A and B are shown apart, each in its own frame.
Chain A
Amino acid sequence: MMQWEPRLPRALPAIQQYGLAILSVAAALGVALVLRPSSLNSFADPLFLFAIAITAWYTGPGPTVFALVSSFLIVDYFFIEPLYTLRMTTEDIPHFAIFAVFASVVARFAAVRRRVEQDLLRSRGELENEVAERTQQASLLNLTHDSIFVRDMDFVITYWNRGAEELYGWTPEEAVGKRSNDLLQTAFPAPYEELRAELLRSGRWEGELRRTKSDGTEVVVASRWSLRRDEQERPAAILETNNDITERKRWEQEISKLNLELGKRTAELEVSNKELEAFAYSVSHDLRAPLRHMSGFTQLLQKHAASRLDDKSQRFVTVIQESAKRMGSLIDDLLGFSRIGRAETRKALVSLEQLVQEAIAEVRPETGQRKIVWNVGALPALYGDRSMLRLALVNLISNAVKFTRTRPQTEIDIGCSGGKEDQVVVFIRDNGVGFDMKYANKLFGVFQRLHSSEAFEGTGIGLATVQRIAHRHGGRVWAEGLVDQGATFYLSLAHRAEPNL
């Protein structure tokens, strides 16, 4: 900020001050000498007093004392008998005493006057400075978008910036002098006395106010008050900064409404999840028991009536038993599938390479004497639910083993193919019977099968389970294949550095 210099008469340099003293004393001497022949000796004293006064007025104490002493000597030399000598008689002493007193008084008076004048000038300069500064500050306050106004302790508005005009709609001319409460119809969040008490205690207050604009619409403002006190520390004025938060409040309300709905939906989902769990529980209990009885009693029948049953009847009993067994595995697979939808995923760092080895070990008993060439490439570790990922890999690998059964030599390649940065794509490629790409979308549906169960057994739930596991890991599963040319299954999984993302 610029500084205004007080307009003071600049002090003269010392040499000029003494010059002025010599000049004024010399001038007094000249005039006195000119006037002496007309025996106007009595003019000498006032002339020198005048010279001393001038010196005292414009210079400092040094030149003034110099003028005083030199005037004293000159008067003694030129105008007091005996002339042209510095000698003086006792009768001259009163004269000189009076002259000295007068000269001192004049000099003192001149010096005091001068100091007073200088003080006055200085404070005028300071005042001008402050006025200029305040004016500039006020114009700066106008620049801000915040709405700012000042009111006295009786709510009367004394300042109103452009931001306030923009927010509330009244010009400074309309607003200044009005009571802010009446103008803005302020609704305080608490009784005003409480707000005022806090303002007086801490010097500030912050809160939300509801106000009405000049066009009658309501606004919600975030308001900050600062208390200004006068020199006697009495509360003098309140500066209010206001920000329009109407829109924000509306969004907040919208969000809390949405959150409420979300909470309700979550609760509903939890209830239906519980129901589903109870349903699955009773399925796993109550549906398996009759199957066990069917299987058990047909077995007992076969044993007891073995001699009376012909081959055909024996076969019927076997079919009943096999069907019961198949129903049992369907129920088990369906329950597993539903469990993956319901269970929470427990994420930990798992090594895919190790999981693949475990999965291969698990399906190995199914392979019997078959010749299988396994090519397993490097696979990364990632955060996921270990048991779910293991199940997905077991399903995919056991599929590959199953659909290559008709091949003289089976080749199964497992590896990691490029994906995006945050995705891992695992592929499982086999040289089996493959499939027609036009049925590719049917591969992952529950109970969807592309082969008869006579050719390749299975419940049709395995790939649906894999898909569900992929979804629960932020990925997906897809396949490429050709009839009799083998198939490749791709499993993509979110690859994250953090466990709980």
Chain B
Amino acid sequence: MSVLGRILMVEDDAKDVELTLTALEEYNLANEVVVVHDGDEALDYLYQRGQFKMRTGENPAVMLLDLKLPKVDGLEVLQQIKSDEKLKMIPVVVLTSSHEEKDMVASYKLGVNAYVVKPVDFHEFVNAIKELGAFWAVINEPPPGSVKKN
């Protein structure tokens, strides 16, 4: 993972990763994505440790976070990020299969920036991902210290 990405995607399901990347490709955003597969890896990436020891210091412009993850789950990752002075400014979008109100309330309480339920229908899914990518990676001005392509 030597390429610096502006989008950090935390997703354990390879098929979801593929569908999401396909959707982002249509907007030419796919090569700006770093994919990690569980909460532990996500934190390693953000804290530049383990396999991400060598990466340069900038934070991603946005983080797409699944909730149901192996090892460290999405809510724990979110809590870590939002309670860390250096990381709390990173915009975090929860991208999950679950309609559960409980999860939604917990995420907003922890300070999530957006909460998106993945639509079953592929058209809707592609649209949702495209809009998300466009908004957070292009339209939105990320906080200082983030990687953004000029």
Contacts and interface: CB of A to CB of B under 8 A. Distances in A.
Nearest to B19: A296
A293 B125 CA distance: 10
A332 interface: yes
A293 B98 contact: no
B100 A289 contact: no
Nearest to B117: A288
B15 A284 contact: no
B100 A281 contact: yes
Contacts of A324: 120-121
A297 B122 CA distance: 8
Nearest to B123: A299
B13 interface: yes
Interface string A307-341: 00000000000000100110110001001000100
A147 interface: no
Contact of A284 (B19, B22, B98, B122): B98
A291 interface: yes
A291 B97 CA distance: 11
Contacts of B71: none
A295 interface: yes
Given A324-B120, A325-B121, A285 B22 contact: no
B16 interface: yes
Contacts of A293: 15-16, 19
Contacts of A339: 101
A164 to B, nearest CB: 65
- Most central of A296, A321, A328, A332 by chain B CB within 10 Å: A296
Interface string B109-150: 000000000111111010000000000000000000000000
B120 A300 contact: no
Nearest to A287: B97
A328 B121 contact: yes
Given A292-B16, A292-B19, A293-B15, A285 B122 contact: no
A32 to B, nearest CB: 127
Given A292-B16, A300-B22, A285 B123 contact: no
A284 B120 contact: no
Contact of A288 (B19, B101, B120, B122): B120
Contact of A285 (B98, B119, B125): B98
B68 interface: yes
A284 B100 contact: yes
A300 B96 CA distance: 21
A427 B143 CA distance: 54
A299 B122 contact: yes
Contacts of B101: 339
A284 B97 contact: yes
Given A289-B13, A292-B19, A293-B15, A284 B121 contact: no
A332 B99 contact: yes
From A284, A286, A321, A332, residue with most partner B Cβ within 10 Å: A284
Given A284-B97, A328-B120, A289 B22 contact: no
B99 A296 contact: no
Which interface class (under 10, 10 to 19, 20 to 34, 35 or more) fits B? 20 to 34
A324 B122 CA distance: 10
Interface string B70-101: 00000000000000000000000000111111
A328 B118 CA distance: 11
B23 to A, nearest CB: 9
Contacts of A286: 97
Contacts of B120: 288, 291-292, 295, 324-325, 327-328
Nearest to B102: A281
Contacts of A280: 100
B121 A285 contact: no
Interface string B49-63: 000000000000000
Contacts of B121: 295, 321, 324-325, 328
Nearest to A280: B100
Contacts of A291: 120
A296 B125 contact: yes
B13 to A, nearest CB: 6
A324 B96 CA distance: 18
Which of B15, B96, B99, B120 has the most A CB atoms < 10 Å from its CB? B120
A298 B125 CA distance: 13
A324 B100 CA distance: 20
B50 to A, nearest CB: 27
A332 B125 CA distance: 16
Contacts of B13: 289
Interface of A: 280-281, 284-286, 288-289, 291-293, 295-300, 321, 324-325, 327-328, 332, 335, 339
Interface of B: 13, 15-16, 19, 22, 68, 96-102, 118-123, 125
Given A280-B100, A296-B122, A296-B125, 13 more contacts: A284-B98, A285-B96, A285-B98, A288-B120, A292-B16, A292-B119, A293-B16, A296-B19, A297-B19, A298-B122, A299-B123, A325-B120, A328-B120
14 contacts: A281-B98, A284-B97, A284-B98, A286-B97, A288-B118, A288-B120, A292-B119, A296-B15, A296-B19, A296-B122, A297-B19, A299-B122, A300-B22, A328-B120
Closest CB pairs A-B (n = 8): A328-B120, A299-B122, A296-B122, A296-B19, A295-B122, A288-B97, A293-B15, A285-B97
